[in-house]
Structure 1
Amino acid sequence: MLFVAAFNVQAQETVSQETEAEKQKRAMELMSIKVDMTVDTDLFMQVTPNTYVSESPKAVIMAMIVPETYENAKAKLESNLPAEFEVKDKGEKMMNGVKVIFMTGVSKAQGTTINSTVYCLKRDADTCTMFMGMSEVGADKKYVDAINAAANSVIKK
């Protein structure tokens, strides 16, 4: 009897571990999908298919597909924020005819103050597309404009 109980607990742990491994595998597969995005490559260098950076000023443009429903993504964006991230604005809005979750804020990373913008839009019943744009406070307006243009290229019907 004790052996059967121990086996059941072990089997449940194995199923749980497999499920977690499957979730991680799916997340990695989704993140490897190229997101259709237009980025000013005169300002940003591509480092992965969906990530672009600028070294000076420090700025990043990133997009990815995540294994979350729109509602789950919304809940996570509202509750799973790092303590060092100061939210300036958040909510839902229409952008280019698409309902998106958005958040803007400021954080510090490696001694640099960063303005951040996050957008999330529904891709299908089980996935969302996330867009993140970050730029060093005081960056030339052309970098902020390039981040906004990239966001607009991702968020479309």
Structure 2
Amino acid sequence: MATQTEPVDLLKLENQVCFALAVASRSVNAVYRPLLEPLGLTHPQYLVMLALWDRSPRSVKDLGAALQLEPATLSPLLKRLEAIGYVRRRRSDVDERMLEITLTDAGAALRARAETIPPRIVDRLGMPLEDLERLREALNHVIAAAQQ
């Protein structure tokens, strides 16, 4: 912390928002890892499943928009989820140019097991739910500002 006479060093590592976000992201993903392993999911795959549990089927384009992922990043995730039997990829009956992603029965059933994850994350982080909600809102503001 700088005193009144000492200017803030804007290039000091611990003063960088990007550094705090990067370390927080890696740290939180590490908290998720042991909870997701029994489900056979990585954190990015878990995010895909969350979007599909919200609504299925979805087009790859819609899924990419919801997850803010490019098709080149999303495609390998979907292929892996299909290989483990959680999703099905198929051409739309309405527009064959559109690839639809649908949950399989196994993928839909996985939701019940995943419902235990959020409370365990809250418990592991040891932060009140209200603080985590405020943090999420603040991060959403950062994301919106960065995308303008």
- Note whether the superposition's TM-score is higher than 0.5: no
Q: Which protein is richer in helix relative to its size?
A: 2
Which structure shows the higher strand fraction? Answer: 1
TM-score, with structure 1 as normaliser: 0.31
TM (norm. structure 2) is: 0.32
